[in-house]
Amino acid sequence: MSLPHPPDTKAAVSHFHDSFNKLRSEVSKFIVGQKDIIDSVLTAVVCGGHVLLEGVPGLGKTALVNTLARALHLKFQRIQFTPDLLPADIVGTQILVEKDGKKVFEFQPGPVFCNVLLADEINRATPKTQSALLETMQEKSVTVAGSTHKLDKPFFVLATQNPIEQDGTYPLPEAQLDRFFFKLFVPVPNHADFVEILNRTGGVELPAISAVANGDDVLKMGQLVREVPVEASVQDYLVRVVRATHPSDAQATDRVKKYVRHGSSPRGAQTILAAARVHALLDDRYHVAREDIAKAAIPALRHRILLSFEGEAEGVKTDEVIADVLAKVKE
């Protein structure tokens, strides 16, 4: 049940809901099914976060990002990550140019200077190249030769990766994984979705995608998200959930104590809180409920929990660990 709130706030929540639905509908013109994936990506974008999409090749991960970029009136760049890609190919470099008869170094911006960056197959690049995105993702800036260059707002990275079991992949370092708002697993379409994919993409013309929002719209939506109030009891529940992912915590489950080496960072709690506020607004509420926290927990924490050797050896999934924590942490 919604709490009473002023008419202007009610109008803002309604506008947020309508804007989100427009983006969802536009992306869904091309992307078949995958409603949860689309909603999660849009949630991260509104919150100013980055998304890591994992799945085998051909499931539409790149197509989803391309479609979203067209639905948003924002500058879009794509980087195809390969083993020979260098950090300078991403962030830019200093080049020698002649000005007024003198040779000087001038910064040449890389493709990261955009609003929407598609990092395609990010785990096919070497760790050194992957780490070039660390400052970009966290600080929204690039430092080259001692000079810092700010990126335009909004800025978010939508990265795709193949399952790490595939040949020619390099696992992302924990520090970089922690900078992704959500990690999402893209599933194989069911039979009906397969048929619809062929119907939409096998004809003479592809579905037309129009820009239904711009950068200012995204920033305003994000501002409203940050203003959604959170009761102390709900925030306390969130903290207990995140702390319970640590083996040393009093509320840690037996599964956590046995299979987890390190639990989630505070950034995981920040992510859950932001996503929970979006879930509340989409449900036409101006307050966060415990259900919103639980709904956001798995995609926000699955890449922030490090399994122990025993957990890796037994094939334990972090999703199962988080579900176990949610089941135990009560009022």
**Overall average pLDDT of the 306-311 stretch:** 89
Choice between 57 and 295, residue whose per-residue pLDDT is larger: 295
Structural domain containing residue 314: 229-331
pLDDT digits (tens, 9 = 90+) for 244-285: 999 998 888 889 899 999 889 899 999 999 999 999 998 888
Say whether both 147 and 201 belong to one domain: yes
Q: Are residues 295 and 158 in the same domain?
A: no
pLDDT of residue 295: 93
Residue 213 sits in a domain whose CATH number is 3.40.50.300
pLDDT in tens, 18-32: 888 888 888 888 877
pLDDT higher than threshold 60 for residue 5: no
| CA–CA gap between residue 213 and residue 262 (Å, rounded) | 39
If asked whether residues 264 and 191 sit together in one domain, one would say no
**Are 206 and 288 in a shared domain?**
no
Same domain, 170 and 220: yes
Whether residues 192 and 253 fall in one domain? no
Looking at the structure of the chain, the number of domains it has is 2
User: Considering the chain, what is the average pLDDT of its residues?
Assistant: 84
Where residue 7 falls among pLDDT bands split at 50, 70, 90?
very low
> Does residue 293 or residue 7 have the better pLDDT?
293
Summarize the confidence of residues 163-181 as an average pLDDT. 76
Query: 51: how many CB neighbours lie within 10 A of its CB?
Result: 25
Answer with the one of 227, 256, 279 that is the final residue of a domain. 227
The CATH number covering residue 289 comes to 1.10.8.80
Tens of pLDDT, residue by residue over 55-108, are 877 777 788 888 888 888 888 888 888 888 888 888 888 777 777 777 777 778
Which structure tokens are listed for 33?
């099914």
Mean pLDDT for 315-327 is 91
| Domain shared by 211 and 327, yes or no | no
Q: Does the pLDDT at position 329 exceed 50?
A: yes
User: Do 223 and 233 lie in a common domain?
Assistant: no
pLDDT at 242: 93
Where is pLDDT greater, at 230 or 193?
230
Evaluate whether 55 touches 186 at the Cβ level (below 8 Å): yes
pTM of the full structure: 0.86
Of 227, 254, 287, the last residue of a domain is 227
Listed residues 167, 199, 227: the one ending a domain: 227
Prior bond to 154 cis, omega within 30?
yes
Answer whether residue 300 shows pLDDT above 90: yes
Q: Where are the beta strands (DSSP E) in the chain?
A: 51-54, 72-73, 76-80, 92-99, 102-109, 116-120, 141-144, 147-150, 156-161, 182-185, 213-214, 260-262, 306-307
Q: What is the mean pLDDT of residues 302-323?
A: 90
* Residue 3's pLDDT band (cuts 50, 70, 90): very low
Same domain, 321 and 254: yes
- 266 and 171 part of one domain: no
